[in-house]
Structure 1
Amino acid sequence: MASGEIKQVWCVRNDVIKNNLIKQILDLPTDDINYCEVVIKNKTRTLPQNNKFHAICSDVAKSGFEWAEKPRNSKEWKVLFVSGHSIATDEPTELVKGLESELINIRESTALMSVKRANSLIEYSVAFCAENGIKLNDTYGKYGW
């Protein structure tokens, strides 16, 4: 970042923080040359959520549960869960022909999911495991999502 540039991230969790943010915004320059950009967005998924989801995918892979007539590794389970979750929650999906004529599911990124959406994905994955008798390792709960 160049000298004099400002980069601040505010986690608006209560009225005190919100009021401090409002004051900061009111103090920002407003001319056409020296202006700032303010972006408001939902917080993306947390590291504990990421760890928990990957632990679930790993547990399913280790269980030997088969999909499309063969066991899948944790990366494949991640794709299956994210794709299935998109369909189950009425999110748009797109299958396209890849560069080598393979079929590719253009899916959402788990890193860009909101905390709420990541919780939904975890709940979807846990429900799939329960419905299919796949035992999950209790240690994934230690991440406290």
Structure 2
Amino acid sequence: MAQTIILRGQSQRDFAKALLDRAPADAVVTIKAASRTNDQNALMWCLLSDLSRAKPEGRLHTTEVWKQLVMHACGHAVQFELGLNGQPFPTGFKSSRLTKNEMSDLIEWTYQYGAEHGVVWTDPESRRAA
């Protein structure tokens, strides 16, 4: 039987340890950082839309290309392929694989880049959700 535990406090840690003690031979245990939240994802797409409309430095990109550019700027491995029409398009790393902290860093970098390039955010209150 599979178990998922979010380690928020000592009681969850104690429960996880008890499960480990009772685990059968050859059981598989995976511990990973929490994934990005739906609110973070929604905020990121709003920011990417604002970047796309603002065209900082004259850059005319779709939101998907902006996402890859921001991810690359934050140190995530992404790549671009040349499409059949001769235009580059992003492939590879997906933001759904980011942890909450990585997504937060991506959002903060996007805010900083936008501030440096005069981007007007459509929802200034959304910054508090990051």
The answer to whether the 8 A contact 2:70-2:110 is kept is yes
Aligned residue for 1:3?
Answer: none
In structure 2, what is the Cα distance between the partners aligned to 1:82 and 1:129? 14
The answer to whether the 8 A contact 2:35-2:96 is kept is yes
TM-score, length-normalised on structure 2?
A: 0.81
Flag structure 1 segments of 5+ consecutive residues without an equivalent: 1-5
- Whichever residue aligns with residue 119 of structure 1, its letter is S
Residue 125 (structure 1) shift: 0.4
- Whichever residue aligns with residue 68 of structure 2, its letter is V
The answer to whether the 8 A contact 1:10-1:21 is kept is yes
Aligned residue for 2:65?
Answer: 76
Aligned residue for 2:129?
Answer: 144
Query: For 1:45, which of 36, 41, 47 is the aligned residue?
Result: 36
Aligned residue for 2:116?
Answer: 131
Flag structure 2 segments of 5+ consecutive residues without an equivalent: none
1:22 paired to 2:17: yes
In structure 1, what is the Cα distance between the partners aligned to 2:64 and 2:73? 14
Q: CA RMSD in A?
A: 2.7
In structure 2, what is the Cα distance between the partners aligned to 1:94 and 1:128? 19
1:43-82 CA deviation, whole Å, 9 max, x = no partner?
Answer: 111111111111100111223x155x45222222112211
1:118 paired to 2:103: yes
